[in-house]
Every structure is written in C-alpha cells, then in structure tokens.
Structure 1
Amino acid sequence: MAEHHTTPPTDGTPVLSEPLELLYEEAGQPRSGLPPALATAYGGDLGFNPPCVYANFVTSLDGVVALGPEYPDSGSAISGSASADQFVMGLLRACADAVLIGAGTLRATPGHQWTPDHLCPQAAPHFAELRRSLRHATQPQLVVVSASGEVPTEHPALQAGALVATTADGARRLDGRLPAASKTVIPAEGTTLRMADVLASLRANGHTVVLTEGGPHLIGHLLGEGLLDELFLTTSPVLAGRADSPRPGLIAGLELLPSRPLWTDLISARRRDSYLFLRYRLGPPGARVGPHSSPTS
C-alpha cells in the first residue's frame, strides 16, 4: 500500500468524496452501529458475529492478487491505490480484534503498518470511535504466522509491536532478535503450525474477530482447515496478465475443484466507479454440493 501522511480532518470533511453504492445486501446481517461518517461512506452498516475469521483481498479482473516477489506492495498496483478500496480495508481492520498475516506478506510490504488509519488517515477519528464502541483495543493486534521464525525483525510493524505465531524451533531462532514490543507465541507443540491452534490461542486471549490479510498460501491453510468464515473481495477494473513470473490467484497450495468444491454465498455487493466490493459467506466444507443447493442441504 502507498504511504500516507494526511492529517485527519476535524471540520466534518467526508471520509470519501463519494460513498459506496449499495447494490445488494442479504437481510439479517449483523450490525455494529457504525459511526455516521463511516456508515455514510460505506453505504450502510457493517458487523460480525464472533467468533469470526474474515479475509480481505483485492484482485484484478483476470484473478491476480499479487504480482510476484520482485514487485513489493503489489496490492497497490492492482487496486490503483483507489481511495474507496483503502477505506474498506481500513474499515475491516477497525472492526477486528486482530489482523493475521503471513511472513511473506510482512516481507512484501516494507514500511506498512496493519492499522486502520495507516490506509485511510482521514477516517482515523471515526475508526477510533468505532473501536471504542466495540470495546476493542486502540489498534488491532497484529499476528504474523511463521513456522520457521524467519521474519524481517527490522520491519516497523514488528518494531511497533506484534505477536509472531511460530513453532518451538521458530521461537528459538527468534530468541533475542525480536524487537522489545513484539513477542513469540507457540500455539502447540510440534514442528508444524496448524491454523486451528493459532486461532484457538488468539481466542483464548479475547481476539474473537480476526481479519486475515495473509497471502494466498495462508488463505489456503485456513480453507484447508475449514476456518475461514467470510471473504471480502474487491474487484479492481484492471487486467494484470501472466507470463513468466508467478502471479498467484486467491488460493495457493490447496486444490478444491473438482473433488472438493467450496461454494460461497454472496451476502453484500457495493460499487464505486468501476470497482466492485463483494462480501461472501463460506459454509463448512462439504455443506453444499452445487451452486443451486440450499444452505441447509
């Protein structure tokens, strides 16, 4: 994401010059009671029923979510640094107890902070008001997942304070290297790191609403363990293309079709210019057998 240095306005300036246009929303969605400025910009309310794990991605029209390791901060290139996308990302962070990412995402975005106001500074006072109303901490807890413990310890997000969920071997590798504001968490014994154990550890510490901005491999692990409840997907009106460099789609390291299709339900659709902001609900694995099955089949 591009860096921002805007001073938050105090004169009632709108969060967005034009609000998102609500195209569709399933009835009965949870509401958090967004502050008026956020509700106006978002085109309605937004909420989650804890415990909940939700992901947020921006994708090109041809399904590219990252441009490869040689392009740091490629999400901004795909989104065009659109203010509406940055607002939605900030809002989703503001709703969360914790933001979950992988070490690859940390490395790919040097200088980034996973806080709501980093993306949308003009909404900072409204994000703070929302977090107070939800009885959240001032900022969401950043959680970096790395079984090996190979993380860039000089990253400013770690300097500011984060949890590094790792194995015992990873914790030994990080011993004495993490900034004082950060610490390691070992969710379970063994040499592998299960996302169920990571989430259980977070929930035991009161983090029941978790946003993941992890990359395709982290999403693959969450989906493989049946742990992702919702997906927010921004469709950017750009074609990225593929040639010789790896340009992953939403999921890596996990094949679902044709033997394990995971159907979703569209529960919200919004629009700003040529961007679409879509919200999907994921059911438990095997809960649906086709696109026209009922949710209870």
Structure 2
Amino acid sequence: MAEHTTTHPVGGTPPGFLEPLELLYEEAGQPRFGLPPALATAYGGDLGFTLPCVYANFVASIDGVVALGPEYPSSGSAISGRKTADRFVMGLLRACADAILIGAGTLRSTPRHRWTPDHVCPQAAPDFAELRRSLRRATQPELVVVTASGDVPTEHPALQSGALVATTLDGAGRLDGRLPAACTLLTAGEGSTLRMADVLAALHTHGHTAVLTEGGPHLIGHLLGEGLVDEVFLTTSPVLAGRTDDTSRPGLIAGLELLPNHPAWTDLISARQRDSYLFLRYRLRTPRAHADPQSALAN
C-alpha cells in the first residue's frame, strides 16, 4: 500500500549550499540503504534498491526531449539548466551504483565528462564517499561503455582514466591496440550484434549488481527491448526544448516501438520537488517474458 505524504527532511546538514528536496510522495516498503545524514537531508529521505537492479536516470524537457542532437555537446546540461538539485540526484544515483552503463554515442556527445558522483556534485563528494564505504562499493563506480562497432573516441578523458568497453568480436578487432592501457575490453557478442543480456551477465560476474544507465535513448531502448530495466528516474525540467521537422531530438527511448502492442507500464514510487523541477521515480511492471530479437545493439 502506498503512502502519500509531504515531509520536511530532518537530520544532517545538506552538502554545500544544496537546498533539500521536498518529498511529495513515496511508496511504502521500499528498500533503504541508510544514507549518511547529510545525503538523507538533501534527498528528503532514504534511498535503496533491491539487488540485482538496473536503473536509468534521465533529465527531460516538458515536451519530452532528452538530447538536443550531435551538434550540441553535453545537451543534458542545457536541458537541466545545470540545476544543482538535478546534479545532486545524478551524483547520488551514481554513488549507489557498482557500474555506470552508457552507449558510445553518449560518450561522444559529452567530450569532457567523467561518470563519477563527485564530477557532477563536488560539494557532496565526502558524503558520496561515505555512502560507498557503507555499501562496500569500490571508490568509484566502474564506467562501462557499450559499442557493437568499436567506434569510440579513445582520447576521451573518461577512457583515459579507465573503463570497461563492452563490444562484439568485430568491435574488438577494430579496437585492438587502440584503447588506453587503463581500459579493459569485454567481448560479449559475436559478429556485429551485441545483446544487453550478455553484457549484464558479464557485469554480474564482475560483482556488479547495482547498474545505473545514463543512456542514451538508443541504449535504454535496447535494454527495454530485452526486458532488462527495473526502474527509471526522470527529472522533469521546466523548459520547452522544441523540435523542427528535420531535427532529431529524441525522447527517453529511441529505436524501439512499445505502444500499442508492447506497452511497458510503470508505477510511480517516488516524487520529489525543488522549485519548478520534479524528480520522479518509476518501477517497471513485470518485464516482457521474451526479448525482442530485433533489439540487439548493432552500432
């Protein structure tokens, strides 16, 4: 049974100048990690996951745009307006994860980004580190870049710092000798296609049971197509992005048609607010029993 409450966070001091999120609604009985007091105050309550779990995090405009196109690097920051609260939630979700899963397109579109909790919210870095110690996580979540073709910018600072690159046999051949020494190559598919179930199975053998994906829309489409997403966190930013007839500005999912024949229904399990921003958390209902054979990643 869900509970509908409005609360005022108590205990701890929010990191830096971060104002606490206001809890609007939370389903009862959710798992709880026991966040450090400062993080619990800033988030407006506790947070946790039933493991293993694959959870996604996106920010979208009111009209449903999550990416502005390849000509606009780091477009997520433009959509969010670099709102401190959104960056805090992004950092918190990263701090909970064993691994952060992204597609090669996301890597290319954010040329200077680092997929660590402190990169997006440095003022909370000590509290994120405390949380990871309490969860017995590694110092930082492992970045996992998915590319069927092996087409990745090997000079990207996130790869220079070290990442797991999941690819096919074809992609591994293309990347042979090109990846930075700090990277590990994971071959999880044959030929030119890559199934996300194989990637996640490989991550589980590495001990990664809490996997966060930050996209992009094609990657989450492949994950949903195989019935592999458990939860979606969505920040609704109070901005209208707009589209023209000849621009590609995808929504949350690209490359996968669900309605009307394969609807992926969700349940709202948490809602928070900061100013005109909404921070929503959804749980996917029973995943589809059979993966879509057309959902294999082929780029």
Deviation sequence 1:23-82 (CA, Å, 0-9, x none): 000000000010000000000000111100000000000000000110000000000000
Q: Give 1:210 deviation, angstroms.
A: 0.1
Give, in whole Å, the separation in 2 of the partners of 1:24 and 1:34.
18
Match of 1:40 in 2: 41
Match of 1:268 in 2: 270
Is 1:258 the counterpart of 2:240? The answer is no
Give, in whole Å, the separation in 1 of the partners of 2:287 and 2:262.
8
Total equivalences in the alignment:
276
Give, in whole Å, the separation in 2 of the partners of 1:85 and 1:230.
17
Across the aligned residues of Structure 1 and Structure 2, the Cα RMSD in angstroms comes to 1.2
Deviation sequence 1:228-276 (CA, Å, 0-9, x none): 0000000000000001321000100000111111110000000000000
Is 1:201 the counterpart of 2:205? The answer is no
Identity of aligned residues (%): 82
Match of 2:141 in 1: 140
Equivalent of residue 246 in structure 1, options 241, 245, 248: 248
Uncovered stretches (5+) of structure 2, i.e. residues with no partner: 1-11, 290-299
Opposite residue 252 of structure 1, the aligned amino acid is A
Match of 1:115 in 2: 116
Q: Give 1:183 deviation, angstroms.
A: 1.7
SS in 2 for 1:78: helix
Match of 1:14 in 2: 14
Opposite residue 14 of structure 2, the aligned amino acid is P
Give, in whole Å, the separation in 1 of the partners of 2:288 and 2:96.
29
Match of 1:104 in 2: 105
Report matched runs for 1:181-196 at 5 Å. Answer: 181-196=182-197
Q: Give 1:283 deviation, angstroms.
A: 1.8
SS in 1 for 2:219: helix
SS in 2 for 1:186: strand
The answer (yes or no) to whether the contact 2:13–2:38 under 8 Å persists in 1 is: no
The answer (yes or no) to whether the contact 2:227–2:288 under 8 Å persists in 1 is: no
Give, in whole Å, the separation in 2 of the partners of 1:59 and 1:81.
13
Give, in whole Å, the separation in 1 of the partners of 2:125 and 2:107.
23
Q: Give 1:286 deviation, angstroms.
A: 5.2
Uncovered stretches (5+) of structure 1, i.e. residues with no partner: 1-11, 288-297
Give, in whole Å, the separation in 1 of the partners of 2:288 and 2:136.
35
Give, in whole Å, the separation in 2 of the partners of 1:26 and 1:94.
22
Deviation sequence 1:177-230 (CA, Å, 0-9, x none): 100100210124343100000000000110000000011100100000000000
Opposite residue 233 of structure 1, the aligned amino acid is L
Give, in whole Å, the separation in 2 of the partners of 1:234 and 1:31.
21
Deviation sequence 1:71-124 (CA, Å, 0-9, x none): 000000000000000000000000000000000000000110000000000000
Give, in whole Å, the separation in 1 of the partners of 2:78 and 2:189.
37
Report matched runs for 1:1-297 at 5 Å. Answer: 14-15=14-15, 16-243=17-244, 244-285=246-287
Opposite residue 25 of structure 1, the aligned amino acid is E
TM normalised by structure 2 equals 0.90
Q: Give 1:13 deviation, angstroms.
A: 6.6
Give, in whole Å, the separation in 1 of the partners of 2:286 and 2:194.
21
Q: Which runs of 4+ in 1 moved over 6 A?
A: none
Opposite residue 86 of structure 1, the aligned amino acid is R
Q: 1:174 to 1:286 in 2, by over 3 A?
A: closer
SS in 2 for 1:187: strand
Give, in whole Å, the separation in 1 of the partners of 2:109 and 2:192.
25
Give, in whole Å, the separation in 2 of the partners of 1:38 and 1:13.
8
SS in 2 for 1:106: helix
Opposite residue 53 of structure 1, the aligned amino acid is V
